[in-house]
Every structure is written in structure tokens, then in C-alpha cells.
């Protein structure tokens, strides 16, 4: 017993309704494949591990605690020592006249 063409199409229609696909008996290129595919951006973007546990983040999380940044402390100490020996950085020049150091020498 052969099944009529209409019945086959009806079956296809029901199938599409059940499985949430596009009913397309003419097999037109509708590009629905692209819209059906899942977005992979979130998975792609989370490839590298996030930067967590920095001092700034900890300070923000626990504002009542005194969190010491050892690296920063060391650097400030070094700066203080350098400045006391007169080896600190020169003062920032704010105006054009101040910064004309080399033109004066001539």
C-alpha cells in the first residue's frame, strides 16, 4: 500500500511542529540552520582564566580590613630612601617655561 503525497507532507508538518523546525517541503535554502545553532560566544570568551584575588579587589571586598600590599610598601620605602639621598625623580614641570631646561644652557 502506497502512502499518498499529501499524507507524507502532513506527517512532515506535524514533525516540524513537534520538533520545532521549519516546515519546508520545497527544500528552499532558508538559512534557518544559522538561527537554530547555539551561540558559542560566552564559551569562547571565557577561555582565559579571569584575574582574581588582586589587592584592589580584596580591598573592595573587605573595606573594614587593612590589607597590606607588600610590593607597594616596598616600593614606597625605596622611594623614601631615594628621596632622602637626593636621588628621587625630578619634580614634574607644570609650565612650558619650567621645562625649557636645555634652551637655557646654551
Partner 1 sequence: MRDSYGAPSNHLPIPSSPPFSSPQAPPSTTIAIMSQFRAKKLDIGGYVNIRNIRDHTKRKVFAENEPERNALRYIIRNTTLPQRVRAQAQLELSKMHCYTRFTQVKNRCIMGGRGRGIFSDFRMGRFQFRLNALAGNLPGVKKASW
Is the CB of residue 30 less than 8 Å from the CB of residue 24? yes
CB of 23 or CB of 78, closer to partner 1: 23
User: Shortest Cβ distance from residue 71 to partner 1 (Å)?
Assistant: 15
Using CB under 8 A, list all residues that contact partner 1. 28-35, 37, 39-42, 44-45, 47-52
CA angle in degrees (0–180, nearest 5) for 25-30-35 = 120
What whole-number distance in Å separates Cα of residue 22 and Cα of residue 33?
A: 10
User: Shortest Cβ distance from residue 65 to partner 1 (Å)?
Assistant: 22
CB of 54 or CB of 80, closer to partner 1: 54
User: Shortest Cβ distance from residue 22 to partner 1 (Å)?
Assistant: 11
Instruction: Report the chain's C-alpha Rg in angstroms.
Output: 35
Cell numbers for 55: 589587592
Amino acid at each position: 500500500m502506497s502512502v499518498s503525497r499529501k499524507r507524507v507532507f502532513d506527517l512532515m508538518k506535524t514533525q516540524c511542529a513537534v520538533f520545532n523546525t521549519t516546515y519546508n517541503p520545497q527544500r528552499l535554502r532558508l538559512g534557518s540552520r544559522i538561527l537554530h545553532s547555539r551561540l558559542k560566544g560566552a564559551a569562547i570568551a571565557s577561555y582565559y582564566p579571569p584575574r582574581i584575588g588582586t589587592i584592589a579587589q580584596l580591598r573592595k571586598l573587605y573595606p573594614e580590613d587593612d590589607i597590606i600590599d607588600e610590593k607597594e610598601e616596598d616600593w614606597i620605602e625605596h622611594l623614601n630612601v631615594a628621596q632622602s639621598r637626593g636621588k628621587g625623580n625630578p619634580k614634574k614641570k607644570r609650565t612650558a617655561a619650567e621645562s625649557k631646561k636645555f634652551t637655557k644652557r646654551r
